[in-house]
Chain A
């Protein structure tokens, strides 16, 4: 167990990334009860938007200047695609049975992947992404924090805090809560629910873009397929934390990230569990945890905040 602090740091960083993406699933679900399965691709497009921003910048721009601009570039791309998806793919299906938008989302996810694959220059192979140069931070003898991990660990709580304040304190945030509770009544009270729904998509997409920049800086590459698995994991995190609950998204992400990294590191050290540890079983343990949590708390760790419809 000598590397425990290091593995905890790995799990936290991975979890923060899951959490940032999970926000998008949870916000949209909280307001329109739609699982936007194309959200992983929104994250991917945020990554390519950020890469485009980086390429446009004069070479030799320091990362400190470039990163905020990359986040902006990524957010422009992801928000544009997410709001367009809402307007043209989901809104027309709002009155349709639940399954229609779900299948549409899956179709959309394939379309978006294929568009990037086909039309972004050289996207058929992984594209390299600027990486943090320099050594990782040495916190203790047995704990190194890589720069990219530090980045996501600082950024994720800040984003969460900003979002929490926005939802609780601002007019739009309150309108959002009202829409989540009862869309029809909110509409009668003069809230422009269409605008609120677009806003939920946009916020989720912006967070996904932040996550994509963090991901690119860490892995040093992005590719057109990267959203699929991460999207599924983030969706799992959202369910684990309680779908519809924004803090739950982060909590679920962190729990899932820790479950993965700790199971890779330590399950095989339990006597008799040799065969069930390591990377091969990480996803199994993560989902076992999900099932156990849902058996005990079907509404997820923090419970969903979707008001009961009387």
Chain B
């Protein structure tokens, strides 16, 4: 008997833990909100737990801020915006089940997310079937909007419901190669990636452009996500006599790799994409990362006048976590959905039409406004028309922007 009760207890504990890991703020939506307004729910899917949760929490809070701002300003008369945030733990399978859950809620008109390109791949089909617009603030893999054969120049949009406020890896990888070769004057690079959709794609684009410019890729290696010992790879980098390293991946592995390369005595910079552009890249290691580079989409949020208000509002809202790397893009993604809803409601005599989802997808293509990250609009593939990028460099424990420019092919 005693055994059985304990078994039950353990089971309860385990399930309890599982529920904990899947925590997300869920509001009960009872169709109409108060004061006779129609409730429109903006779904959010991002890693809210796990090692990338810092980014995910920033995404969730920024969309929440966009919804609150719209409600406060009465942006769409008669419509009350709410968010429903689900945790995908950066796992494609979780993303897919979240997408299914979101489209199941009839009040969900658009979704912001996910963070990871690999997760987006598993969600796109679900949203297209349900005609729900999806705007990612962070996906950079070109195939998501331009089809699998984008590298051969055959651009074909696979999902009409998919949009993004983030620039693609093509833009980011080439921009990084141009900076490293032309501005930082590096000629011999060692390329490492983490085998993931984002990292491997970025590294391949970077390598091709670096070679095209006349540089040499003196070696390549791969690391495994969640592993922490890259000392053997670091020693290979050192003995290859490379003058720089390019890392395609995220900050947990990137920070450790940069660290372990510097510990071998090789005093060379590591460069990466927006996946490593995070304070944690620097803080998560004892060795100084000074001289390491990262590219990120857009101009530094602090430098755009439109962004100043966002930062002030974000601080005023007293969120627990910082807005992180994608806060501005998430706010803009949420705002794009709000603007599309606004257009649809205006066309329908001030009421949300019955086929609001499909109408919002159509309206997304025409959205244009000055957002936190610059001009927000989508091209025929659903990609952002904003091709501004910035290179950041680590100086004294912080990322400093060293070059901002509009990308030229």
Q: Which of A11, A128, A265 contacts B236 (CB 8 A)?
A: A265
Given the interface contacts A3-B235, A107-B14, A264-B221, does A220 sit within 8 Å of B3 by beta carbon?
no
Chain B nearest CB: distance from A296 CB in Å? Answer: 26
CB-CB nearest in chain A for B56: A124
Given the interface contacts A107-B14, A118-B20, A279-B233, does A93 sit within 8 Å of B3 by beta carbon?
yes
- B51–A10 CB distance below 8 A: no
Contact with A along B152-164 (1 / 0, CB 8 A): 0000000000000
- A92–B232 CB distance below 8 A: no
Q: Is A37 at the interface (CB under 8 A from chain B)?
A: no
Contact with B along A1-20 (1 / 0, CB 8 A): 01100110011011000000
- B53–A219 CB distance below 8 A: no
- B233–A117 CB distance below 8 A: no
B-chain residues with CB within 8 Å of residue A170 when the two chains form the complex: none
B1-20, CB < 8 A from A: 2-3, 6-7, 10-11, 13-14, 16-18, 20
Chain B nearest CB: distance from A283 CB in Å? Answer: 7
CB-CB nearest in chain A for B53: A124
- A125–B2 CB distance below 8 A: no
Stretch at the interface among A155-163, A200-208, A221-229: A221-229
- A278–B220 CB distance below 8 A: yes
- B221–A96 CB distance below 8 A: no
Q: Is B21 at the interface (CB under 8 A from chain A)?
A: yes
Tier of interface size on chain A: 35 or more
With A and B bound together, what is the CA distance between A270 and B280 in angstroms? 38
Chain A nearest CB: distance from B150 CB in Å? Answer: 24
A-chain residues with CB within 8 Å of residue B280 when the two chains form the complex: 125-126
Q: Is B68 at the interface (CB under 8 A from chain A)?
A: no
With A and B bound together, what is the CA distance between A221 and B284 in angstroms? 5
Q: Which of B20, B222, B252, B285 contacts A220 (CB 8 A)?
A: B285
Stretch at the interface among A54-62, A75-83, A129-137, A176-184: A129-137
Q: Is A292 at the interface (CB under 8 A from chain B)?
A: no
Q: Is B54 at the interface (CB under 8 A from chain A)?
A: yes
A-chain residues with CB within 8 Å of residue B6 when the two chains form the complex: 92-93
With A and B bound together, what is the CA distance between A107 and B256 in angstroms? 29
- A223–B231 CB distance below 8 A: no
Contact with B along A102-134 (1 / 0, CB 8 A): 011001101100100110000011111111000
With A and B bound together, what is the CA distance between A130 and B263 in angstroms? 15
B-chain residues with CB within 8 Å of residue A117 when the two chains form the complex: 49
Contact with A along B49-61 (1 / 0, CB 8 A): 1110110010000
Q: Is A168 at the interface (CB under 8 A from chain B)?
A: no
B-chain residues with CB within 8 Å of residue A229 when the two chains form the complex: 226-228
Main SS at interface, chain B: helix
CB-CB nearest in chain B for A217: B286
- B239–A221 CB distance below 8 A: no
Chain B nearest CB: distance from A146 CB in Å? Answer: 6
- B232–A10 CB distance below 8 A: yes
Q: Is B132 at the interface (CB under 8 A from chain A)?
A: no
A192-206, CB < 8 A from B: none
Chain B nearest CB: distance from A149 CB in Å? Answer: 8
B-chain residues with CB within 8 Å of residue A118 when the two chains form the complex: 20
A-chain residues with CB within 8 Å of residue B231 when the two chains form the complex: 10, 13-14, 261
- A279–B230 CB distance below 8 A: yes
Q: Is B214 at the interface (CB under 8 A from chain A)?
A: no
A235-292, CB < 8 A from B: 260-262, 264-265, 278-280, 282-283
Contact with A along B205-242 (1 / 0, CB 8 A): 00000000000000011111011111111011011000
Q: Which of B7, B228, B283 contacts A96 (CB 8 A)?
A: B7
Q: Is A190 at the interface (CB under 8 A from chain B)?
A: no
Chain B nearest CB: distance from A17 CB in Å? Answer: 8
Q: Which of A14, A95, A96 contacts B229 (CB 8 A)?
A: A14
Chain B nearest CB: distance from A230 CB in Å? Answer: 8
With A and B bound together, what is the CA distance between A283 and B224 in angstroms? 9
Given the interface contacts A92-B3, A144-B264, does A128 sit within 8 Å of B283 by beta carbon?
yes
Q: Is B36 at the interface (CB under 8 A from chain A)?
A: no
- A107–B17 CB distance below 8 A: yes
Q: Is B287 at the interface (CB under 8 A from chain A)?
A: yes
Chain A nearest CB: distance from B226 CB in Å? Answer: 5
Q: Which of B16, B17, B222, B256 contacts A219 (CB 8 A)?
A: B256
With A and B bound together, what is the CA distance between A3 and B264 in angstroms? 12
- B224–A280 CB distance below 8 A: yes
A-chain residues with CB within 8 Å of residue B16 when the two chains form the complex: 111
With A and B bound together, what is the CA distance between A89 and B6 in angstroms? 8
Contact with A along B15-34 (1 / 0, CB 8 A): 01110110000000000000
Q: Is A100 at the interface (CB under 8 A from chain B)?
A: yes
B-chain residues with CB within 8 Å of residue A261 when the two chains form the complex: 231-232
B-chain residues with CB within 8 Å of residue A215 when the two chains form the complex: 228
Q: Which of A13, A92, A127 contacts B2 (CB 8 A)?
A: A92
B-chain residues with CB within 8 Å of residue A125 when the two chains form the complex: 51, 53-54, 280, 283-284
Name, among B2, B220, B233, the residue most crowded by chain A CB atoms within 10 Å (CB to CB): B233
B-chain residues with CB within 8 Å of residue A96 when the two chains form the complex: 3, 7
- B232–A7 CB distance below 8 A: yes
A-chain residues with CB within 8 Å of residue B274 when the two chains form the complex: none
Nearest first, the 7 closest Cβ-Cβ pairs linking A and B are: A131-B286, A107-B14, A220-B286, A280-B222, A126-B284, A264-B232, A92-B6
New A-B contacts (11) at CB < 8 Å, excluding given A131-B287, A278-B222: A10-B232, A14-B229, A14-B231, A95-B3, A107-B17, A108-B14, A117-B49, A126-B280, A127-B284, A221-B256, A279-B221
Taking Cβ atoms with an 8 Å cutoff, the residues of A that contact B are 2-3, 6-7, 10-11, 13-14, 89, 92-93, 95-96, 100, 103-104, 107-108, 110-111, 114, 117-118, 124-131, 136, 144, 146, 215, 219-221, 223, 225-226, 228-230, 260-262, 264-265, 278-280, 282-283
Taking Cβ atoms with an 8 Å cutoff, the residues of B that contact A are 2-3, 6-7, 10-11, 13-14, 16-18, 20-21, 49-51, 53-54, 57, 192, 195, 220-224, 226-233, 235-236, 238-239, 252, 255-256, 259, 263-265, 280, 283-287, 321
25 contacts between A and B (CB under 8 A): A2-B239, A14-B231, A96-B7, A103-B14, A104-B14, A107-B11, A110-B14, A111-B13, A111-B14, A114-B17, A124-B53, A124-B57, A126-B280, A127-B284, A128-B284, A136-B263, A136-B265, A144-B265, A215-B228, A220-B286, A223-B252, A226-B228, A278-B221, A279-B224, A282-B232
